Each structure stands twice: as structure tokens, then as C-alpha cells.
């Protein structure tokens, strides 16, 4: 393999490892923060918060919009599911952690 190809393979490997790290970090944050309302494995808690696993909303919304949504939270008329009485509180952990949660929620959580 020539040197250029080796560099490309190395960069791709680092990117994939970074993605796996973000997803595992996202899973930890999800379990610590989000699962209290969205349930273990994102199955939702009836009367409290909707399921994220298999959610058309999660699957059809781009990652940047979901990360922004997590950071801002939703209340009142902004709520996607007004039949749930609790507002979704904003997540103050920062953009990188919110993005890691999104990667987990859109990836491994959907499996």
C-alpha cells in the first residue's frame, strides 16, 4: 500500500473510532440524564415522555436539529407531543455532549 493510501486508511480508522467513542459517550449521557423520562433503552414512559426508539420524529430529524432541540428543551406550544404533561428541560451539558447523545439515539438506540 502506498503512503497516501495508508494515510487515508488511518484517518478513516480514527474517524470511525471517534464515532464509536461519541456513541458510547452518548449512551452514558442518555442513561444518566435522558432515561429518567424516556425510559431505559428509549422505550418511553407512559404519561411522562414519548419513546425515542422507533420514533419517526427522531429518525426524520437531522442530527444538528436534534442536538439543538436537546440543548434548548421544549415547553408549551413548542412541544412535539403536547399530550405529555411534562416539559422537556434544556440540557446544559454543551453541544459536543448533546451531539454524542444524538449519535447514540439515532444509531445504537434504534437497533
Per the CB < 8 A criterion, the answer to whether 90 and 71 are in contact is: yes
Q: What is the pLDDT of residue 20?
A: 58
Query: Which three cell numbers, joined as nine digits, stand for 28?
Result: 452514558
Please write the tens of the pLDDT for every residue from 74-105: 998 888 888 888 899 999 999 999 999 999 99
Instruction: List, as one string, the DSSP characters of 27-53.
Output: HHHIIIIIHHHH-GGG--BTTTB---T
What average pLDDT does the segment 12-16 reach? 40
Q: Which of 20, 15, 99 is nearest to 62 (CA)?
A: 99
How much is the pTM? 0.78
| Stated length of the chain | 111
Q: CB of 50 within 8 A of CB of 38?
A: yes
pLDDT digits (tens, 9 = 90+) for 42-62: 999 999 999 999 999 999 999
Amino acid at each position: 500500500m502506498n503512503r497516501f493510501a495508508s494515510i487515508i486508511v488511518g484517518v478513516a480508522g480514527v474517524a470511525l473510532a471517534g464515532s464509536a467513542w461519541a456513541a458510547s459517550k452518548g449512551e452514558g449521557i442518555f442513561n444518566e440524564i435522558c432515561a429518567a423520562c424516556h425510559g431505559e433503552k428509549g422505550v418511553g414512559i407512559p404519561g411522562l415522555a414519548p419513546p425515542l426508539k422507533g420514533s419517526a420524529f427522531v429518525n426524520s430529524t437531522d442530527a444538528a436539529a436534534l442536538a439543538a432541540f436537546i440543548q434548548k428543551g421544549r415547553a408549551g406550544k413548542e412541544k412535539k407531543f403536547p399530550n405529555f404533561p411534562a416539559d422537556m428541560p434544556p440540557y446544559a451539558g454543551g453541544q459536543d455532549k448533546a451531539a454524542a447523545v444524538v449519535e447514540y439515539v439515532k444509531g445504537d438506540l434504534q437497533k
